[in-house]
Chains A and B, each alone.
Chain A
């Protein structure tokens, strides 16, 4: 069945450093890849997404890259800040959203 693997499960960085989270997906029909940030006790919130017709997308300190051939995509956060500390989930959506499979999450700690 469809599967999304996410690494690392925990990531600790110093404030100002960059953080990279990587995901791989199994279903080549996946064509939409959102990233969500979830703070403790709160709802997942969309932070950036990418569709299969582009290889990279950037929004201020956040960027996502997609390699369709290798079936992996990554989240890059530059100049990390303590408020970036949260759990980040990648997801792969099949057939334009009919089914979305989430990765297991990465717990990011940004140390001041």
Chain B
């Protein structure tokens, strides 16, 4: 049973370019979460998605950031017109079915380290 997959593992972009980060949840998991981690800091919640549905995007910046989890394929976190402050590690996590006892544990992917030059 493969774990949570993220790609790319490292991404370098110049200011103004777009960054696309992909996350494939664990098999059997239908819920995906995205977090941002700055160096030496904690995990900041960004967005929580189910297939074809954004459940909670309260942690997502209002501009330039968007996320989707289509019916087929991975979840994608998209950052438009990147700036240096976007440089961080972006982690994706998945869980089976929050709200049901014992189904809320989140398992993390290896992260994508974004560097904006």
Q: Which residues of A contact B (CB under 8 A)?
A: 32, 34, 36, 42-46, 49, 51, 89, 93, 95-105
Contact = CB atoms under 8 A, between A and B. Distances in A.
Interface residues of B, number: 27
B43 A44 contact: yes
A45 B98 contact: no
Given A43-B108, A98-B56, A98-B98, A103 B103 contact: no
B27 to A, nearest CB: 17
Interface string B100-117: 110111111111000000
Nearest to A95: B99
A100 B48 CA distance: 10
Contacts of A103: 42
A32 B104 contact: yes
Query: DSSP class of A's interface residues: helix, strand, loop or mixed?
Result: strand
Nearest to B113: A41
A43 B91 contact: yes
A102 B105 contact: no
Interface of B: 31, 33, 35, 41-45, 48, 55-56, 58, 91, 95, 98-101, 103-111
Most chain B CB neighbours (cut-off 10 Å) among A44, A98, A99: A44
A8 to B, nearest CB: 14
A96 B98 contact: yes
A49 B105 contact: yes
A8 B108 CA distance: 24
Nearest to A1: B58
A89 B42 contact: yes
Contacts of A32: 104
